[in-house]
Each structure stands twice: as C-alpha cells, then as structure tokens.
Amino acid sequence: MKVTDFLEEMKKVASESYRVLKADKFCAILMGDTRQKGHMIPMSFEVMKIFQDAGFNLKN
C-alpha cells in the first residue's frame, strides 16, 4: 500500500472515530514513522494532522 493511500484511509478512521467518541473522552493513536527508498516519512506527524483536521485536539 502506498503511503498516500494509507493516509487517505486514515482520514476515514479519524472522521469515524471523532463521530463515535463520547464527549470528554480520549482517542490514543500509536504511529511509527517509516522509510521508503532511504528517506524517512514522518507518519506520526501526518496522522496527527489528519486527526486534528477531523476535530480532535491534542493532549499532552
């Protein structure tokens, strides 16, 4: 699976997670970075941004 395809699917996950999560509750995501052709791809940053765009706020 291409990284772009994965991130597009994560948008669906984030949207549905935000929809079903009860008020004042938390969603935790554990995401590692990856490498392709010797270059690091910051998956954790990309997924964090997707979840923020879906409506989630960051918590320490």
pLDDT per residue, tens digit, the chain (60 aa), is 788 999 999 999 999 999 999 998 999 999 988 888 888 988 999 999 999 999 999 887
User: Based on the number of CB atoms within 10 Å of its own CB, is 38 exposed (0-12), middle (13-18) or buried (19 or more)?
Assistant: exposed
Q: According to the model, what pLDDT value does residue 14 have?
A: 97
The residues spanned by each domain of the chain are 3-54
pLDDT for 59: 85
* pTM of the complete model: 0.85
For residue 3, give every residue at least 6 positions away whose Cβ sits within 8 Å of its Cβ, in sequence order, or none. 34, 36, 41, 43
